[in-house]
């Protein structure tokens, strides 16, 4: 008889507030024996794990280190090493969960892990449990409708600067820009050039200690932004 292999649950734990976790995610977290969480290769801290720690019920916790680099070969090696470790646990017959901020398939490390697992072992059993995204929580916090009627909505990254913002500015009614902290100066100047500064709101550390909402982006012109910062832009005006 072929030994039973475990199932991997990819769990989105929401943007920061431990209460913004789905009931389905909570049920799995409370019964799963092994929890994986990603961390930087320079330390063992995981924000996703800190969010759910109060919900765990004696599960074993293991950090999967990922280097903060854009070198594709280094990244590929890290993904494969971590995927092999996950498969070792599953092949031993244990279920496991991988916890990640927000939603598992929206700008998440889980997406890369999933692709690597499927390539290494196509028959691996995976269940993905969606989570509340940071921008959904930010929209709720600021009472900002992301789309209404026939409006369009674009989600873009500011990790490499303002290029994506320029690409969608003429094509979307509303824009959410994540990962704005590193290149905030360039993004600010681009918003100014596009006459969008007064139609934007900046939210930092949504659902976490130090949460801030800045409705007048001109107040941030010379500021350094926290790591978890985003901008919501409504081209027709904020509407509140």
User: Distance between alpha carbon 228 and the CA centroid of its chain, in Å?
Assistant: 10
Q: Is the alpha carbon torsion for 101, 103, 105, 107 positive or negative?
A: negative
Q: How far apart are CA 152 and CA 174, in angstroms?
A: 6
Average pLDDT over residues 113-117: 95
Average pLDDT over residues 7-11: 97
H helices present in the chain, as ranges: 23-31, 47-52, 72-91, 109-120, 134-142, 163-168, 184-193
**CATH code of the region 7-129:** 3.40.1010.10
pLDDT at site 3: 64
pLDDT at site 59: 84
Tell me whether strands 212-214 and 200-204 are parallel, antiparallel or unpaired: antiparallel
Share of the chain above pLDDT 70, in %: 97
Q: What Å distances lie between residue 67 and 44, 50, 58, 64, 154, CA to CA? A: 12, 20, 28, 10, 29
**Domains of the chain, residue spans:** 7-129, 134-234
Domains 7-129 and 134-234 share a fold: no
Reply yes or no on whether the pLDDT at 154 is more than 60. yes
102 within 8 A of 139, measured Cβ to Cβ: no
State whether residue 21 is helix, strand or coil.
Answer: coil
- Fold of the CATH domain 134-234: 3.30.950
Reply yes or no on whether the pLDDT at 14 is more than 50. yes
pLDDT at site 238: 63
User: Distance between alpha carbon 133 and the CA centroid of its chain, in Å?
Assistant: 7
pLDDT at site 239: 53
State whether residue 45 is helix, strand or coil.
Answer: coil
Read off the pLDDT of residues 17-66 as tens digits, 9 standing for 90 and up.
989 999 999 999 999 999 999 887 677 788 899 888 888 888 899 999 88
Closest by CA position to 172, among listed 199, 193, 153? 153
């Amino acid at each position: 008889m072929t030994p039973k292999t475990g199932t991997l649950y990819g769990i989105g734990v929401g943007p920061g507030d431990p209460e913004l976790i789905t009931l389905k995610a909570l049920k799995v977290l409370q019964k799963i024996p092994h929890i994986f969480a990603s961390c930087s290769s320079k330390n063992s801290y995981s924000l996703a794990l800190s969010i759910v720690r109060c919900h765990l019920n004696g599960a074993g916790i293991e950090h999967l280190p990922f280097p903060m680099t854009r070198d594709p070969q280094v990244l590929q090696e890290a993904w494969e090493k971590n995927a092999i470790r996950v498969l070792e646990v599953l092949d031993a017959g244990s279920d496991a969960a991988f916890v990640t901020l927000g939603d598992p398939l929206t700008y998440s490390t889980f997406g890369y892990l999933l692709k690597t697992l499927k390539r290494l072992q196509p028959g691996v059993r995976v269940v993905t449990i969606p989570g509340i995204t940071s921008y959904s929580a930010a929209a709720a916090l600021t009472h900002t409708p992301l789309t209404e009627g026939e409006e369009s909505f674009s989600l873009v990254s500011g990790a490499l600067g303002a290029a994506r913002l320029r690409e969608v500015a003429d094509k979307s009614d509303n824009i959410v820009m994540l990962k704005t902290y590193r290149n905030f100066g360039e993004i600010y100047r681009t918003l100014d050039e596009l006459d969008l500064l007064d139609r934007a709101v900046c939210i930092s550390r949504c659902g976490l200690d130090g949460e801030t909402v800045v409705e007048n982006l001109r107040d941030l012109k010379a500021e350094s932004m926290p790591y978890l910062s985003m901008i919501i832009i409504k081209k027709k005006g904020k509407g509140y």
